[in-house]
Amino acid sequence: MNTHDLFVKTPPVKLFFTAALPGAASMLASSLYQLIDGVFVGRILGETAFAALNLAMPFVVINFALADLIGVGSSVPISISLGEKKERDANNIFTCACIMIVAAGIAVGAALFALAPLLIRLMGADGEFAELAVMYMRVYALCSPVSTIVFAVDNYLRICGKIRGSMFLNIFMAGLSALLEFLFLFVFRWGIWAAALATCLGMMICAVIAFVPFFAGRLRLSFCRPHFSRKLIIRMISCGCPSFLSNIAGRITSIIMNIFLVRLGSQTAVSVYGILMYIDGIVQSIMYGMCDSLQPAVGYNWGAREYKRVRAIEGCCFGASGIVSLLAAAVIYLFPMQTAELFMGSGGDTLMAMAETAVRVFAATYIARWFPFASQSYMLAIEKPVPASVISAAISLVFPVAFIAVLWPLGLTGLWLNLAASSFAASVLSAVIMARTTARR
């Protein structure tokens, strides 16, 4: 089925199952690998390595954030241009974006490699804890010129209607990375640097595979002689800002949280917070996979002025996100110890008691988390970056930092409550923004 028939003629519910479910499956595969990554490091290398991984992870995500800014920021105008039958503009945006992602990977990777010891030291870590975190971060920094583009090409495949191809590529990447990590850590007995290398190798191999049909000219998007312009760059950056702000703001929040966690509960509290972030990674990946997979269809129909169809597609997105989020809240609340033991095995009494409390409190996050997430995705898909950026910054940085101050008297419990409180506040903000946008439409 060609792109036009898929995005315009397929009934919305069928489109959801055709596009969103494979997208959710591919993101779930990726998040499950991240979970396996944490399990391998925690069980094979120990608690110090697991804590070091989670201390370094915010900087690793920042390393990918600029590439994601360009990748997501280019996907929206590409979809709209294709809906408007402007094939040449779509190909130019695609080509320029790929060049910019590689250049950004070189620049950001070099900066993170050089600054890694200073950044980890500023977090309050020292000794082996700090050394392992620096080692982990530097491997990602070295590989970033090639590895960072893998998430952008995933979007481009979906825009070209290769939804199942995108899904299989993500599943293959997760499986390959997990296999490499098992060999490196369990068989070869290498250190934490090998865990990072396994992930990067999986990404780089899959990035090369994904670009083969584009270079061969077998897809609707193709490379052309790039024509950069100030207007084009501003358009990509503005459309990518919500995702970028979410990544950057979320990592800044994690860095701030880790600083307080190190002081309130040492590396044990950092490990527990890492467990919560792995849980969040799984749930958020499923919702992201569904909403992100529908963005090309929403953007295409928005460009074609099929507004009624846009609303129907988004209804599926909001409904499915709500179901996933509420189910996650129930499961997490009912099985806190099993979740913690998955990462740390039979950890010490102090760690396990802290983890049980944290996981149960954290479960409340998903009662409301779905609404701002789906709202932000919708705003981004129809090329309204300002309200999408407001929602993104609010849930990722503004509300979490504000609630650190508000909930500080509760100690560690206040930190565990932070994301739940932020999600409820962001839901109210999102409802206001959605109501105003709908009224104007």
Which residue carries 């036009």 as its tokens? 4
Dihedral sign of CA atoms 321, 359, 267, 121 in order: positive
Q: What is the DSSP string of 226-284?
A: ----HHHHHHHHHHHHHHHHHHHHHHHHHHHHHHHHHHHHHHHHHHHHHHHHHHHHHHH
One-letter-per-residue 3-state SS of 167-190: HHHHHHHHHHHHHHHHHHHHHCCC
Largest interatomic CA distance in the chain: 62
- For residues 160 and 340, what is the distance between their CA atoms, to the nearest angstrom? 40
pLDDT 10s digits, 281-309: 888 888 887 887 788 888 888 888 888 88
How far is residue 260 CA from its own chain's centroid?
24
Is the distance from CB of 392 to CB of 245 less than 8 angstroms? yes
- For residues 100 and 113, what is the distance between their CA atoms, to the nearest angstrom? 20
Is the distance from CB of 91 to CB of 221 less than 8 angstroms? yes
pTM value is: 0.72
How far is residue 240 CA from its own chain's centroid?
13
- Kindly list the domain boundaries of the chain, sorted by start residue: 3-440
Would you write out the chain's pLDDT as a tens digit for each of its 441 residues?
A: 566 677 788 888 888 888 777 877 777 787 777 778 888 998 899 888 988 998 898 888 888 888 888 988 898 899 889 888 899 999 999 999 999 999 999 999 999 999 999 999 988 888 999 999 999 999 999 999 999 999 899 889 988 888 888 889 989 999 999 999 999 999 999 999 999 999 999 999 999 999 999 998 889 899 999 999 999 999 898 888 877 777 777 778 888 888 888 777 667 788 888 888 888 888 888 888 788 778 888 888 888 888 888 888 888 889 989 999 999 999 989 988 887 777 665 556 777 888 888 889 999 999 999 999 899 888 888 878 888 888 888 888 899 989 988 988 888 888 889 989 999 999 999 999 988 876 555
